[in-house]
Amino acid sequence: MPRTVSIIDLAVNGAGNREAVTVTEYCWLVEILEKRTVANWPTTDYNVSDVASGGTYTHKKLGTSFSFPEGNFIPNDIVGYVETSLANGTPSGSSTFEVIQHIGGKFR
State pLDDT tens for residues 98-108: 999 998 756 55
- Is 108 inside a domain boundary? no
30-77 per-position pLDDT tens digit = 999 999 999 999 999 999 998 876 678 999 999 999 999 999 999 999
Burial grade of 8 (CB within 10 A; 0-12, 13-18, 19 or more): middle
Predicted local distance difference test score (pLDDT) of residue 52: 74
Question: What are the backbone angles phi and psi of residue 53, rounded to the nearest 5°?
Answer: -75, -5
Which domain CATH number covers 85? 2.60.120
Domain housing 69: 4-103
Predicted local distance difference test score (pLDDT) of residue 24: 95
Total count of domains within the chain: 1
Predicted local distance difference test score (pLDDT) of residue 11: 95
35 in Cβ contact with 9 (< 8 Å): yes
Predicted local distance difference test score (pLDDT) of residue 55: 73
- Is 71 inside a domain boundary? yes
pLDDT at 1 over 60: no
Predicted local distance difference test score (pLDDT) of residue 104: 72
